Structure 1
Amino acid sequence: MSTVADRVRGRVDLSVSTAGLLLGDLVAIAAFVIIGEMSHSIDPLANPGIVADTYVPFLVGWLLAAGLAGVYARGLHESPRRKAVTVLGAWLVADAVGQLLRSTAYFHGDAALTFALVAAAVGGLFLVAWRLVLVAVMPRFRSTGRA
């Protein structure tokens, strides 16, 4: 009988490189949120609570969806195409979870269809783009002996 820990280990590679991927993903999602807030004339430095209130539903959605989809599983990074599809699929689920959470009394905002579509496109673009840049840079980084 497998335990929860066994299932997590199968879906998450507990390594430094995975921690780096997670950090980069969280920064990409934060960038999406911050740029979105700024486009609505919200100063993130003056209103960090508003930014956090927008970020948290997507953070919860991402952690849930990425874990279930195996975004941080061992071997996933071997195929950039497979990674991009998995990351994008997980983001679409994370966006849906984030929108659902935003439609509750616990977070500001709502689940407007236009915002859900923009979040799916822009957030997905940020996540996939940063990972594609990483794939392009890592072989050069490794070849210089810095990895």
Structure 2
Amino acid sequence: MSEPSRPASSPPPHAPSTPPAETLLQCDFDLSTLVVLRHHLERLCQRHGLTDLALYRFIVAVNEITTNAVRYGGGSGHLQLWQASGQLSCRITDRGGGISAPGDQVLAPPDQVGGRGLWLARHNVGRFTLHTGAAGTTITLHAL
């Protein structure tokens, strides 16, 4: 399989506009490219200093958010990975209808199917920001 393709369009207008210092990856994704994207992202993060548990946790967080973007955010999304001051950050944007009640503060009960993605992402990164509205959702993750 090949690396993820470059974006055909820019992220939705609700995405925060702060430009990253060093963009390492910028691509659109959908269900058919999630696995390739995850593996490519892991290699990039390793090359830029993430290792061991920090690498695992960051990849889990990004995977949860990209999967949610496909599942609940319109079937596709846009990912941007960058490094600034030695820290890796990733912004995932979708064009879904927004999140009415983000489930990132409380872990879903064990008998509930689903509902853990935002919580897992928030608890596996150093900083987590969420912007949501009718035009979609943007989540930014900063590695530990």
Indicate whether the TM-score tops 0.5: no
TM-score (norm 2): 0.34
Give the structure with the larger helix fraction: 1
Give the structure with the larger strand fraction: 2
TM-score (norm 1): 0.34
